[in-house]
Amino acid sequence: MKPTRSSRFLLLVLLFLVSFLVRSTMGETLLVKAQDEDEDAADTPAVADDGGDETETDTETDPAAEGDAEGDGDDGDGEEGDDGDEESDETGEEGDAEDDDEGFQVEDLLPGFENTDADNFVKGYILGNPEYYQELYVAPKAVTKFNNLPRFGHSDDFSLLMGDYPDHYYLGLLFVGTLILTIFFFWGIAIGIFKCIGPKHVGFLAGFPFQVEGKKSAAGRVVFSVGAWMMIVSTIFLISLGLPRMQYLSDSIAFTADEIQIVEKEVKYIVTTLLVVSAKTKPIRDELVDFLKRDICPLEPGSDTEDQVRSVGEDTYDAMTDLEDFIEGYLLDVEDGVNTTNTFTSNILAVTDMAQFVGNPVVTAIVFPYFIIPIILLVAVGMGWYDFYSETFYSFVTWLVVPLLVLLTILAFVTATTLVVAIQANADICVSSGAPEDSILGVLNNLDLEDDSGSQSKDDNGPSDNFFYDIMVFYTHQCTKPNPWEFMEGHYADLARGRNILGEFIRSIEDTTLLELSQECGMEYGPIVVLLKSLQDLITILSQTSIRALTLMSCRNVVPLYTAWIYESTCTLAPVSLNLVFMCIVCIAFFGMVCITFRGAYYPIDFYYYDATGRGDKQELYPTDEVGDSGLADTPCNEKVLEEQEDQCIDATEAMEESIEIQIYHDDEEKEYETDDDEQDHEKNFLLDKYGEPMEGPDAAQHSVGTNGSYRGIDRNGDSHAVYSDDDDEMTFHSTFDDEYEYNSAAEEESETFSYVS
């Protein structure tokens, strides 16, 4: 049973995706190496295995044949000729000898391609020397720190994002980003509340200027200036360090995409070549079938010559059938895979073309305001510091620059939140499971791709049933896992067997020369020999194509690309570059909020509102006016002051809850205070002043009540009243009196009423 089309498709798709970088000289190096190794093994006999039948080929090479091989082997492919030329030279068939010298040899393929070495050749070629490509990943400090950010009980395993419970991962991932947005959100709410409360309670934090010059105004302006300067410095770092690193990362991705397209072109060439070979082998196979159906030797049916030729011809037909099945089973899926990969890489190139961070007008238009806006604010605060006022300039700053600063700060916070989530996820891929390849393995497992490396293919010469999983594990673990390319051994063994059988078939016909064979059997063999030599040329093309395919799949070619892409770019360059950009943007956002909070500091002292004439004449913040009861001019600031005073008066009136009346009874000699229980009248002397303190001297007479100079005292804090009598008797009681009071007097028979209210 043949391999499934899906497994074959996955084989080639993986080949396209993992071979990101194809070194242009690799193929030539391998060819030279193959030629050098085959020169050392030129005298090694090759044994063709035909289903258990062993046929010895090319076991002897005499000096004459070696001379012919060396003389005729300079064809650019390192061909040294065929040993069958010895017998061709003896018969005088020089033309046939030259053709045979240019025929297919094992050296046309790869070293060790004879059947005696075919079982180990692919394994040795694919794996190579691990010292040349295996690397150890060392995580930068930035990756470790971002991976160690708090998750509050949630996992840092990135593979869970593709599993059944992705929320167990992304809830922890979003914490830091949410924290940044929360800080920004509540900071913005606080600024809005300060604005609503007004300058009476929060002063300049409400966006109003300082009223007097002093340490407070100087400190506010210093903080505002430092915030603006730090925005400029952070923007400079972003432009000079962050964006160039991001540009380098983008260029690396673009370079990788370009190299992927080189691989696509290489694979398309291989596919086209195999399709051409397949198309050309079909008529050859059909003619070979017709040849085998006829009597190969009509004059001597059943002879040893006929049996030998028929046996070899049937073996050749079987090999050609296997080759055709192999090509037809793979190439349609290969072609689809190439087209899909080409679409993918084209999209990547389109993105990288847009993601240009240096010299891109769009990026410049976004970053430039972060540099120019703080400069304008510094000019404004400098003008305010030196009492230089311009109506036009401050209107421009107030109504355009500050709102633009708010928008830029919001954009910076949103960008910082996105970056911190991306960096944290990137760090999780690299170190959460120990190494990047372990995270990749976890993702594959959560995608329902189970480990099937030990399974047997439905076809002995095909990949495992879960080949995509096996090939990913093989390359991401730097070829330390079971080799999924072992099935290729069978294909190359078949190709080697077909090559040897075909060579023997041609030599068998030419052993006695075509003329003698035709005379002996009574049949013309020239056309079939030409046909088989054409097949020999096609197999030569197939061998060269095989070199290119194996070059793409070798560990020494793929693994360095994986380590460069994952270890260096994804897990080193990307997090470090993004971290630098993140820190710059966070600083810009933070100091932008500082400037917004202290925005009142850039105004001049007492220079906030200008007159309605538009002349820009300076005007005091709280001007006075003799007209009107308030003594204040009709200005927005004075209106605010009057509103605040009115609110305070209303609050004071509402706070008044009680008043106290004290009855004073008179006679000719003394003033008496009557208690509530009416049990006893006490003669008291009262002392009263404006603040409720005891009074002595002439001032006391101003508040005398009655004829004997008795007075009542009120504590200044309004919490208690002290009543003094001539005999030092004292009574204390509580009320809600405050410093201010009203004095009312009314004669009711022989008493006076004093009403003290807040």
3-state secondary structure labels for all residues of 627-673: CCCCCECCCHHHHHHHHHHHHHHHHHHHHCCCEEEEEEEECCCCEEE
Backbone angles phi, psi at 46, to 5 degrees: -110, 135
Q: Which two tokens mark 498?
A: 């077909």
pLDDT confidence bin for 413, thresholds 50/70/90:
very high
Residues recorded for the chain? 758
What residues contact 331, with CB distance under 8 A and at least 6 apart? 271, 274, 275, 278
pLDDT tens digits for range 279-338: 777 777 777 777 767 776 777 776 676 676 666 667 666 666 666 665 665 566 556 666
Q: Which amino acid, one-letter code, is at 202?
A: V
Percent of the chain with pLDDT over 70: 50
**Are 38 and 111 within 8 A, CB to CB?**
yes
Q: How far apart (Å, rounded) are the C-alpha atoms in residues 406 and 552?
A: 54
Nearest to 444 by CA among 658, 720, 163: 163
Rg of the chain over CA atoms, in angstroms?
Answer: 50
What residues contact 265, with CB distance under 8 A and at least 6 apart? none
Q: Which two tokens mark 433?
A: 């499971």
Query: Does residue 96 register a pLDDT over 70?
Result: no
Q: Which two tokens mark 262?
A: 């080189």
Q: How far apart (Å, rounded) are the C-alpha atoms in residues 401 and 369?
A: 10
Q: How far apart (Å, rounded) are the C-alpha atoms in residues 21 and 253?
A: 11
Its sign, for the CA torsion 703, 705, 711, 716, is negative
pLDDT mean across residues, the chain: 66
Q: List, in sequence order, every beta strand (DSSP E) within 527-622.
A: none
Nearest to 671 by CA among 679, 656, 681: 681
Nearest to 99 by CA among 506, 493, 610: 506
Q: How many CB atoms lie within 10 A of CB 434?
A: 10
Of the spans 31-40, 341-350, 412-421, which averages the highest pLDDT? 412-421
3-state SS, residue 744: coil
Burial 643-653 (b: 16+ CB within 10 A, else e): eeeeeeeeeee
Q: Tell me which H or E stretch contains 25.
A: none
**Are 91 and 511 within 8 A, CB to CB?**
no
Q: List, in sequence order, every beta strand (DSSP E) within 31-108.
A: 46-50, 53-57
pLDDT tens digits for range 524-537: 777 777 777 777 77
Q: Which amino acid, one-letter code, is at 329?
A: G
Residue with tokens 């002063």: 203
pLDDT tens digits for range 136-149: 888 899 899 998 88
Residue with tokens 């879960």: 466
Nearest to 61 by CA among 29, 88, 85: 85
3-state SS, residue 371: helix
Nearest to 50 by CA among 285, 324, 326, 311: 311
DSSP strand pairing (751-757 vs 659-666): antiparallel
Beta bridge partners of 674: 681
Cα angle: 426, vertex 428, 431; to 5 degrees: 110
Task: Record the pTM.
Answer: 0.59
Query: Does residue 35 register a pLDDT over 90?
Result: no
Percent of the chain with pLDDT over 90: 14
Q: Which two tokens mark 186?
A: 């509540």
Report the pLDDT value the prediction gives residue 605, as an integer from 0 to 100: 74
Q: Which two tokens mark 394?
A: 């401050």
Beta bridge partners of 661: 755
**Are 136 and 110 within 8 A, CB to CB?**
no
User: 681 versus 242: which is more confidently predicted?
Assistant: 242
Query: Does residue 414 register a pLDDT over 50?
Result: yes
**Are 44 and 498 within 8 A, CB to CB?**
no
Residue 112, CB-side half-sphere exposure with 13 Å CA sphere: 12
In order of 326, 459, 576, the CA distances from 144 in angstroms are 48, 46, 11
Report the pLDDT value the prediction gives residue 594, as an integer from 0 to 100: 95
Q: How many CB atoms lie within 10 A of CB 154?
A: 17
**Are 159 and 446 within 8 A, CB to CB?**
yes
Q: List, in sequence order, every beta strand (DSSP E) within 39-157.
A: 46-50, 53-57
Cα separation of the two ends of the chain: 107
**Are 478 and 559 within 8 A, CB to CB?**
yes
Backbone angles phi, psi at 416, to 5 degrees: -60, -40
In order of 569, 676, 700, 731, the CA distances from 728 in angstroms are 95, 20, 18, 10
Nearest to 669 by CA among 629, 709, 635: 709
pLDDT confidence bin for 252, thresholds 50/70/90:
confident
Of the spans 40-44, 83-87, 422-426, 490-494, which averages the highest pLDDT? 422-426
Distance of CA 603 to the CA centre of its chain: 43
Q: Tell me which H or E stretch contains 689.
A: none
Q: Which two tokens mark 9?
A: 């498709």
Query: Does residue 600 register a pLDDT over 70?
Result: yes
pLDDT tens digits for range 387-399: 787 888 988 998 9
Q: In what order do the strands lie in the sheet with 730-733?
A: 713-714, 721-724, 730-733
DSSP string for 486-504: GHHHHHHHHHHHHHHHHHH
Q: Which amino acid, one-letter code, is at 746?
A: A
Q: List, in sequence order, every beta strand (DSSP E) within 226-344.
A: none
Q: How far apart (Å, rounded) are the C-alpha atoms in residues 754 and 756?
A: 6
Q: Tell me which H or E stretch contains 76.
A: none
User: 659 versus 163: which is more confidently predicted?
Assistant: 163
Count of helix runs (H) and strand runs (E) in the chain: 25, 10
Average pLDDT, integer, range 573-590: 93
Report the pLDDT value the prediction gives residue 651, as an integer from 0 to 100: 66
Q: Which two tokens mark 381?
A: 């605060």
Average pLDDT, integer, range 465-477: 77
Report the pLDDT value the prediction gives residue 384, as an integer from 0 to 100: 85
- The backbone region for 720, taken as left when phi is positive above 0, alpha when psi lies in -120 to 50, beta otherwise, is beta
Q: How many CB atoms lie within 10 A of CB 514?
A: 17
